[in-house]
Structures are given as C-alpha cells and as structure tokens.
Amino acid sequence: MDLVTYLEKVADEVDTALDREFGGLPGELNKASAHLLLAGGKRLRPAVVMLAADMVKKGRANEIFPAALALELTHTFTLIHDDIMDGDAVRRGVPTVHTVWNEPTGILAGDVLYAHAFKLICTAIADDAAKVRSVTTLANACAELCEGQHMDMSFEVRDDVDEWEYIEMVSKKTGVLYAAAAAIGATLAGCSAQQAQSLHEWGLSSGIAFQIQDDYIDLVADAEKSGKDRASDLRQGKQTLVAILAREKGIDLSGYRRADLTNAEIDEAIALLEEGGVLEEVRSIARTRVERAKSMLSIFPDCDEKDCLMQITDYFVSRGF
C-alpha cells in the first residue's frame, strides 16, 4: 500500500466528513469552530487511528471512523488555543480564529471542538468498554497536552533546560496525541491491552522524533522548503534540543539571538554546531526514537497497515528536505 496515496484518500474522506458535519452549522461560534477545521491539513492523526484499527482487524477503520474525526478535532482545538497564546495571525494559509473573531470567541471555539471530540468517539461502532477506555485515553492525552504547552512556555524564561526536560515536554506536546490516535484506533477495533500499550509507545516515540526533526528543520532547511522563517528558533533563543546540546558542549549561541540575522550568519552558526558535533547528536537522538517506535510494532504480524505506520515514522524524520 502506497502511503502517499493512502494519506490523500484519508484526507479526502476526513475533509468531506468535516464539511458535512461542521460546514453548515448556524451561529458565529459554530462558524469560528469550523474555520480552521475546514482549512485543510495533512490529517495524519485520523490516518493513524484508521491504520491502527485495520491493523488489529481489517475493515474496522470504517466502523470507527468518527474516532478518526475526533483526533482531528482535538488537534485543531490545540492549534486554535496555541495561536491565541503565541499571537499568531496565520495558520494553514488562513487568518487565525482569534484574528477573524476575537480571543474570547477563539477560546470558546476551541472548547466546542474539544467537547465534540468526545461525543464522536462515543458514536463509533465499538464495544462500550472500548469506548470508555478510548475516552479515558483522549482525556489523559488532553491533560498532558496542556502540561506540555505549559512546560514549553516556562522554558522561555529559563536557560538551564536539560535534554530530558525537553524530551518530556515534546512527548507531551506532540507525542501524546499520536500515541492516543494509535491506541484509540486499536482499542475500538478490539485489540489487547498489550497491543494498545505498544501502539501508544509507538506514537510517543514517533511524536518525539517528529518534534526533534521540526526543530532541526527550523535551523538547517531553506525557508522555501520548510515553510517557516529560517532559523526562527535560533533568532528567538528557544530551548530546542539543538540549543540545549550546544550549551552543554560549551557553544555560545547568544550572539545569534537577533531578529535581523543574515543567511551568512545562520550558515556560520550551522557550521559551528556541525563542527561541535551538536547536529550529529540531534540526528542520532531522532534516529534512536525512530527505531524505538518501529520496534513497538514488532508484536503485530506484517501487513500493509503496519508498513504504513513504519513509513509514517520514517517520514517524520525525512520531511523538509
């Protein structure tokens, strides 16, 4: 099964369902809630839900499809609230919710999606006990997402963040939703407790690798390829894994903490980090997380869905180039 084709198919199905469910609802709050939700996206988390379900029992993905939508709603709710906290004006190529309406409406719009997500899980065709476990998994994930966001905010006023604090932060801010997506899809499909735990661990490690790569891309990729301002984390002095390892190796990046950095200065910083072994260590840590994620799938027999999940993990550390 070709991963790109599969992801495109899932994205089309998710887009159609979301437009049907949320596209025509009356009232300004419903319009605000649907605004970012209907602006597109890769829909990776719904795809993970469906792949995990079909890996456990072929054909179950269609029956638990509302849960796939639930994960996209949860992801979108976090983006709406993140945009408010970060003061961002654009997301997915459209103005952010709070800039079109206002911050209170943005907060409420995110809350509406959060509530709908739990309702959608309950409408999946699955055993009631599996639904209870899935709702619990999503609730725990949402609490950890908030903890991860708060940790990330606290890092902004610290210069002593270590590698393990960073890993904990990204596991909560990025990893837990992929972990929940995989575990929920499998749980609703009737998996064992061991299978659910293995898929949860797959999601955590994959999400950590994703965020490490995201930080790496921010520094070394061209803005045209990454879709982000080049070296924005370096300019802002963010406590990324790159910055943490550089500090531990005695490499001073404080002179690069400026909004007006030139491309030549960014190249200079990259060369400094490469020579000091920082970037290779970052790449090595990401590769280790990728291998751990893949190892978590070893309890499942070989199948197309398992292969796609492995390809997703590989994609997380190869994108941007």
One-letter amino acid for residue 76 of the chain:
T
Mind listing the pLDDT tens digit for each residue in 10-52? 999 999 999 998 988 888 999 999 998 888 888 999 999 999 9
Structure tokens at 65: 């499809």
Question: Distance of CA 35 to CAs 5, 44, 158, Å?
Answer: 26, 19, 35
What are the structural domains of the chain? 3-316 (1.10.600.10)
Per-residue model confidence as pLDDT tens digits over 128-171: 999 999 999 999 999 999 999 999 989 988 888 999 999 999 99
The secondary element (H helix, E strand) that includes residue 174 is: none
Nearest to 202 by CA among 222, 183, 184: 183
pLDDT value of position 233: 85
Mean pLDDT lowest among 19-28, 224-233, 250-259? 224-233
With CA atoms as reference, report the closest residue to 112 among 50, 17, 28, 19: 28
* Predicted local distance difference test score (pLDDT) of residue 223: 56
Mean pLDDT of the chain: 91
The neighbour count for residue 202, using CB atoms within 10 Å, is 28
Distance CA 170, CA 207 (A): 8
Tokens 């999400």, located at residue: 207
Cβ-defined contacts of 263-269 (< 8 Å, 24+): 263/230, 266/219, 266/230, 266/231, 266/234, 269/219, 269/231, 269/234
Tokens standing for residue 301 = 């027999």
Cα separation of 210 and 278, whole Å? Answer: 18
Whether residue 253 has pLDDT greater than 60: yes
First to last CA, the chain: 23
